[in-house]
Amino acid sequence: MSRLYLIPAPLGDNEPAEVIPGYVLETARGLSTFVVEETRTARRYLSRIGLKGHIQELEFHELNEHTSEAETEALLPLFSKGDVGLISEAGLPAVADPGARLVDLCHRNGIEVVPLVGPSSLMLALMGSGLNGQSFAFHGYLPVKPEERAAAIRKIEKSSATLSQTQIFIETPYRNDAMFKDLLRCCSPKTLLTVAANLTMPDAFLKTRSIGSWKKENLIIGKRPCVFLLLAQS
């Protein structure tokens, strides 16, 4: 029976072997059909893990935020030909990633799903934050409009205080600094905030401070992939 392999990708431009286990890379090298978020990125990744010169022999199908439900369902016949690999732009497939729809399709049709080990910016950030790792929630992206984002931040902080729960969210890199400024403006000085940027990369940044302490620092995150974690203090 065919299987869907969930193949992690590096979080940045480092060598895949630095962050992806060897057996995962070997599994990827043994596949010929891939569902990917972006073909160009996937081709480059597979070339770097040893398939350079064989890329033209591989079959790629894109599944991204623009893929319709019907287009996702149309991927099912791929499994009649053999195993399929799912690759996200970065990190773990199907986590904050449209590939989750393919995983759902497989479960609904009795196709075995095999998640493979690799880097997760969310879990790495939580691990390194010092915040509550027993209870946490992930919110994805917060609203773009400033007034709606501010309301979401206050709601998340209130929920964190009520549940003693770490709140995790992400932002598009070019809005990182706007998000950071809104957090400083909207949150209590006692609330703890972790900023985790470019994890696993040479210039990785990971620091937890109270909002009051962050206000004394002139932090510029810049256009780097970043995870924010918040924990309100009583």
pLDDT at 8 over 90: yes
- In degrees to the nearest 10, what's the CA dihedral of 33, 117, 42, 34? 10
Dihedral class, residue 214 (left if φ above 0, else alpha if ψ from -120 to 50, else beta): alpha
Under 8 Å between Cβ of 172 and 141: yes
The C-alpha angle with vertex 192 and arms to 189 and 193, in degrees rounded to 5, equals 105
Residue 1 has pLDDT above 90, yes or no: no
Antiparallel, parallel or unpaired: β 33-36 and 3-7: unpaired
Number of alpha helices (DSSP H) and beta strands (DSSP E) in the chain: 9, 10
* pLDDT 10s digits, 108-156: 999 999 999 999 999 999 999 999 999 999 999 999 999 999 999 999 9
pTM of the complete model:
0.91
Token digits for 15? 């060598």
**CA angle 90-96-97, nearest 5°?**
65
- Distance in angstroms between the alpha carbons of the first and the last residue of the chain: 53
Q: Residues 26-36: what's their mean pLDDT?
A: 96
pLDDT surpassing 90 at residue 195:
yes
Q: Helix, strand or coil for residue 175?
A: helix
In contact, 170 and 153? CB cutoff 8 Å: no
Per-residue pLDDT, averaged over 46-59, amounts to 89
Q: Which domains does the chain have, with CATH numbers?
A: 3-115 (3.40.1010.10), 121-231 (3.30.950.10)
192 beta partners: 210, 231
DSSP result, 119-162: --HHHHHHHHH-S-SSSEEEEEEPPSSHHHHHHHHHHHHHHHHH
Residue 234 has pLDDT above 80, yes or no: no
Q: What is the pLDDT of residue 51?
A: 85
Q: Which element (helix H / strand E) includes 17?
A: helix 16-19
Residue 60 main-chain phi, psi, to 5 deg:
-120, 140
